[in-house]
Structure formats: structure tokens, C-alpha cells
Structure 1
Amino acid sequence: MSAGGAASGDRTAAASPPPDLGPPTTFVLLRHGATALTAHGRFSGSGAREDPPLAEAGRAQAAAVATYLRGTPVDTVVSSPLRRCRETAAALGLPYAVEEDLRETDFGTWEGLTFTEARAQDPDAFAAWLAVPGAAPPGGESFADVAVRVAAARDRLLAAHRGRTVLLVSHVTPLKTLLRLALGAPHTALFRMDLAPASLSALAVWGDGNTTVRYLNNTAHLPPG
């Protein structure tokens, strides 16, 4: 072996081990319980005139989540500012903070409509909304807009709670966006995930930024029906 080869081997042997990244930050993602609009599949976002509370079924779902999570180590609970999320968070019996950027999408003039009604009202805008991340409902937010603010909220929470478990109580689009970003998937992945009311998902974020999805749409804790 040449002197150069030996030196190269010595450098490799002496190389420092990778840094200890420590425990990951775990985000447990809880979709709020059902409202009166949920069963009808109506757009219910942050731009609606009304801020609907949990329906009776939603309150039962929130209570079931609270029972299921009892004894689970959770360091912090953070909720969307909208009423259905705050009521779900309150049912857990733990202190919680509010993060504005975890609010649901502003669906503009489609608030309160079903998908079928929105498509009939604005067929071109609806088709663009499904196909293009930057396309928004009339007067509302695009998926790209939502991704920017949700990622910003995630990064703030990572900085404040590194290595801890944070329970996020939010809505279907912000939570799907967090999962999509974790997977590095395109925006169309939003349409290929199902998050039931009061379902639980989880992802882990390591010190180097690597993110893994641990589970998705766990509903085993919910009452039947």
C-alpha cells in the first residue's frame, strides 16, 4: 500500500462519528371531532361566517380521545383557534395553547357548500383548485398558501419543543399538509389520505430534519357509528 493510501485510511479510521441527534420531536396529530357540517361533507374553513361547535357525536369522539390518551406522555397541546378544535382540546383535560396558523383553509365563496355544489357553482375554479397548488377558491386560500403557514407553525413548534411530544389539534387540510410535507409528496397526496373526525396520526422529526410518519388515521379509540 502506498503512503498516500495509508494516510487516507488513517483519516477514515479517525473520522468523527455522526453527531448524536437526540430524541425526535413527536407531533401527534388530532383532527377535531365532528360538527353538524361534517356528516354532510360541507366545506367548513376559517373564512366561514359561523364557527361551528362540536356536534353531540363530536363531543363523544373528543371524550373517547381523552380516554385513549390518558397516561400517554404529552408535553404540550396546541390547538387551532377555531371553536371545534378548542372544544376538542379542552375535552382532553390538559392545558393548551392556540396557534393561529393551524386554522383550516379559507374556502372563500365555497364555505358551507358540498364538493358537488362548489363544482357546479365554479367549475373552472374548482378544476384548477384540484390540479394546481397555487389555485384558490374564489376569495379563499390555495393549498400552497396553507402549506406556507402550516410549515411556519411546524418550525416554530420544533424550535420551542425540540425532542418533546406535541399534540396538535387541527383540521383535515393542515394535518394532511403536515403529513404530505413529511413524506415529500406532491399536493395531490392530499386527496389520497383519509383523516376521520377525531382520528390520530403521528410523525417524528429528527435533529437533522429527517421526518418519518409513524401512523395515520388511527380511529380504534372511537365509538362505532
Structure 2
Amino acid sequence: MTVRVMLISPAMNAALREARFDGDAPLDRSGRERARAAADAVPAAGLTLSGPSERCRETTEALGLAARTEPALSGWDLARWSGRSLDDVAAAEPARMSAWLGDPSAAPHGGESLRDLVGRIGGWLDSLGAPDAPGADFLAVAEAAVIRAAVVHG
């Protein structure tokens, strides 16, 4: 069976504008307005899914989509770095930041490594072609790291 998966990254919020590891922050006004403006360009799908983050759910709503929340699409678990700025982590933990940037198996933050993220999202993608999958045409609003992991999985 051929499966088509369309992925949409959620709209901007303050955490992204401030280069912080997102701690599930809501959309800002500008992000909400831009998502509403893009609503007419979103293609139809057999099943629409949303990552569980507030940002994904709010983007889905602003796009005018009725979506099922999909726990498998949760964002990259960066554990104790969540909510902190990239500069703050780099200054406070330079060796750990360097390890994280240089080794896809590293998880110095106590969360999920990049390899683990790609494996988790790859497993979800592979499950969509299963005989008991709900449809062959999916649209999902998911965090950017999840989308990158899906692309890397291939």
C-alpha cells in the first residue's frame, strides 16, 4: 500500500524567536496570525494528526483542521535543557553541548538522543503502512525536530 505523509511545522512562538529549547510554549500572536493566513493552502488528507505540544495543537486549530492528537509525534525530549536558551546551555555546560552537537548518540541533557528521536519517528512512519493503519493519506502538524527526523529516516 502506498502511504503519503504530509508534514507541517507549527507556527512560531517566543521560544523559537529567543533561540530556546522549546518547553511546550504556546504560539505568539504573530504565529497564530500566520497560521490562520496559511489555512487555505493546506491540502486535504484522509487523517489529520497533531503532535501533543501546545504549539502543534494551536497551529492545527489556527489552520482550521480537525486533528487527532498523536502521542508518537511528541517533540524531541531535551529533558533538563527544555525552556533554556541555547546560549545559556552553551555557557553553563560547554563540554556537554559540544558532545550533543558532535555525537548523534549523546544525550547529556538526560533526554532523548538524536538517534533515539530518529528511531522513534521512523518507527511511527513505518507503522503507517501496516494493514491495520487507518488510511493511506496523512497530514501531521509536528515539531520541526520531528519533521527533520522523519526526513532523515527516509
Give the match's secondary structure for 1:137. coil
Q: Distance in 1 between matches of 2:19 and 2:101?
A: 17
Give me the TM-score of the superposition, normalised by structure 2.
0.89
Hey, what does 1:94 align to over in structure 2?
Answer: 65
Q: 2:123 is matched with which residue: 152, 166, 170?
A: 152
Q: Deviations over 1:154-198 (max 9, x none)?
A: 122332155x3211111111100111111xxxxxxxxxxxxxxxx
Q: 1:66 is matched with which residue: 39, 43, 49?
A: 39
Give me the TM-score of the superposition, normalised by structure 1.
0.63
- 1:136-147 aligned at under 5 Å gives the runs 136-147=107-118
- 1:24-173 aligned at under 5 Å gives the runs 24-44=2-22, 48=23, 51-69=24-42, 72-159=43-130, 160-161=133-134, 164-173=136-145
Q: Which amino acid counterpart does residue 53 of structure 1 have in structure 2?
A: P
Structure 1 residue runs of 5 or longer lacking an equivalent are: 1-21, 183-225
Cα pair 1:110 1:137 within 8 Å, conserved? no
Hey, what does 2:149 align to over in structure 1?
Answer: 177
**What stretches of structure 1 move > 6 A for 4+ residues in a row?**
none
Cα pair 1:99 1:153 within 8 Å, conserved? no
Task: Give the length in aligned residue pairs.
Answer: 152
How far does residue 31 in structure 1 lie from its aligned partner after superposition? 0.5
Cα pair 1:81 1:98 within 8 Å, conserved? yes
Q: Distance in 2 between matches of 1:114 and 1:95?
A: 33
Q: Distance in 1 between matches of 2:20 and 2:77?
A: 13
How far does residue 88 in structure 1 lie from its aligned partner after superposition? 1.0
Tell which has more relative contact order, 1 or 2 (C-alpha 8 A, sep 6+): 2
How far does residue 129 in structure 1 lie from its aligned partner after superposition? 0.8
RMSD, aligned CA: 1.7
Of Structure 1 and Structure 2, the greater helix share is in: 2
Q: Distance in 2 between matches of 1:76 and 1:91?
A: 17
Q: Distance in 2 between matches of 1:111 and 1:74?
A: 32
Question: What is the percentage of aligned positions where both structures have the same residue?
Answer: 32
- Bigger drift between 110-119 and 165-174 goes to 110-119
Q: Deviations over 1:93-115 (max 9, x none)?
A: 23211111211112122222222
Structure 2 residue runs of 5 or longer lacking an equivalent are: none
Quickly say closer, same or farther: Cα 1:137–1:57, change in 2 above 3 A.
farther
Q: Distance in 1 between matches of 2:14 and 2:108?
A: 22
